[in-house]
């Protein structure tokens, strides 16, 4: 069982370098957070509002690949 964050608001928070491998991304608000260098676990971007979120290149590529988008370069 992961961290319980139901209804929490992390909007605008610096969560860079965090460990979110066992985490319910749909339970809280992460808009405008800095998630760079974080372990995003099983984040499915189709069900989470990531408006304004900061990601590094590796994270963005990984999330796009989960959608079936091939990232080249």
Residue 1, pLDDT above cutoff 60: no
Domain harbouring 11, CATH code:
2.160.20.80
Please calculate the CA angle 70-34-47 and round it to the nearest 5 degrees: 55
Q: What is the pLDDT of residue 61?
A: 94
**In terms of residue numbers, what domain contains 30?**
1-73
The band of 60, judged by pLDDT with boundaries at 50, 70 and 90, is very high
Measured between alpha carbons, how far is 23 from 17 in angstroms, rounded to an integer? 15
Distances (CA, A) of 60 to 2, 43, 69, 71: 23, 11, 11, 9
DSSP lists the bridge partners of residue 19 as: 39
Summarize pLDDT for 3-49 with one digit per residue, the tens. 677 888 999 999 999 998 888 888 889 999 999 999 999 888 888 88
Helix H segments across 1-73? 57-66
| The total number of structural domains that make up the chain | 1
Question: Do residues 19 and 38 touch, judged by C-beta distance below 8 A?
Answer: yes
pLDDT of residue 8: 86
């Amino acid at each position: 069982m992961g961290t319980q964050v139901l209804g929490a608001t992390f909007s605008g928070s610096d969560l860079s370098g965090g460990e979110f491998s066992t985490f319910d991304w749909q339970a809280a608000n992460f808009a405008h957070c800095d998630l760079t260098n974080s372990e995003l676990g099983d984040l499915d971007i189709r069900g989470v509002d990531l408006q304004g979120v900061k990601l590094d290149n590796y994270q963005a590529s990984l999330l796009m690949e989960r959608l079936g988008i091939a990232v080249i370069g």
